[in-house]
Amino acid sequence: MQKYFVGVDIGSLTVKVVLLNEDLETLGMVMNRAGFSGRDVATRLTEQLLADSGLTTQDVSATVATGYGRVTFPSDREVSEITCQAKGIIHLFPSARTVIDIGGQDSKVIKLSQNGKVADFAMNDKCAAGTGRFLEVMATALEVEWQEIGELVSTSENPTKISSFCTVFAESEIISQVSAGALKADILAGVCESVASRVASMTRRTGLEPDIVFTGGVAHNQGVVNALAKQLGFPLLVSREPVITAALGAALLAREILKA
């Protein structure tokens, strides 16, 4: 009889749910904005995901919740997103030794040991510069959709310089750059460089060891991927669905609860 497992990642900006079966097949994944109640969104998404596979919550053997909102969600276990991210990434990329995760307002670097366990980690502290929030604020100020950023940045020949210290001040900076006639593509390229350098300096705390996997919502942004790879001097592996890797890790851990 088939068994099913759910991984829920209630992040600061978005909620992700992954449905896994015993044979490690991902049956479904879904993401949505968290809004005011990440928990309610997570509940709704889980039911929807299960229904799409012809299942109900009764069919779920175990659920693991992660992300900032994890304590609010009824689950069999709540696990930090660091552990879940490591689990998800090592499953997708067995050769991974360093994970760079840039989410809505978190950025982290996770060093993995040979057996895929977390050996060390570094996170941003009390500052959202260099996270998805930073990019979101800048994209909004420039009236650009995040999907357009990668392509726009690739056309830039003269990236502007932007402070990487404060998201709010950086927004003022780019507005003045716009007034001074700087090209959108160049400003965006500067924004991507800024994010990359912030993250690059964090990698120096844990050290970098290939293979390096870049995950989290910001990994969708080709501009940042390229800027980061260039600053680190290493190629970056990116999964097709970087947003859900922690939720996947949570689902994998849910599967292990039962085995224990």
Partner 1 sequence: MAKRNYRPLVSVKALQKTMGRYYAITNYHRYWGKPLRRPLAWVTSGAPVELLRAFKIHSAYPEQYAAIYSARKTTVALCEIAEAAGYSQDLCSYARSNIGGVLRPDLAPLGGMPKPDLLVACNNICGTVLKWYEVLARHFNVPLLVLDTPFLTAELTPQAKDYVLEQLYAMSADLEKITGRSLDEKNLVKQMRRSAEITSLWKETRQYCQASPSPLNAPDFFIHMAPIVVLRGSQEGIDYYRKLKAEVKERVELGQGAVENERIRLVWDNIAIWPQLFTFYKMFADKGACFVSDTYSGGWAIEQAPGTPMESLAATYTEVFLNRSPEFRANQLINLIREYKADGFVMHSNRSCKPYSLVQEVIRRKVMSETGVPGLMIEADMADSRAYAEEPVRNRVQAFLETFE
d(CA 233, CA 214): 14
Task: Please say which residue, 4 or 73, places its beta carbon nearer to partner 1.
Answer: 73
d(CA 51, CA 61): 16
Please, what is the minimum distance in Å from the beta carbon of residue 83 to partner 1? Answer: 5
Counted residue by residue, the chain has a size of 260
Render 179-241 in DSSP notation, one character per residue: HTT--HHHHHHHHHHHHHHHHHHHHHHH---SSEEEESGGGG-HHHHHHHHHHHTS-EE--S-
d(CA 17, CA 246): 9
Chain centre to alpha carbon of residue 67? 11
Please, what is the minimum distance in Å from the beta carbon of residue 9 to partner 1? Answer: 13
Task: Please say which residue, 33 or 204, places its beta carbon nearer to partner 1.
Answer: 204
Task: Please say which residue, 13 or 174, places its beta carbon nearer to partner 1.
Answer: 13
Please, what is the minimum distance in Å from the beta carbon of residue 257 to partner 1? Answer: 12
Please, what is the minimum distance in Å from the beta carbon of residue 179 to partner 1? Answer: 33
Judged by the rule CB under 8 A, the positions of this chain that interact with partner 1 are 68, 79-83, 117-123, 125-126, 205, 207
Please, what is the minimum distance in Å from the beta carbon of residue 117 to partner 1? Answer: 7
Task: Please say which residue, 153 or 251, places its beta carbon nearer to partner 1.
Answer: 251
Residue 168 is encoded by which pair of tokens? 């709010």
Task: Please say which residue, 48 or 201, places its beta carbon nearer to partner 1.
Answer: 201
CB of 131 closer than 8 Å to CB of 164: no
Residue 171 is encoded by which pair of tokens? 């927004």
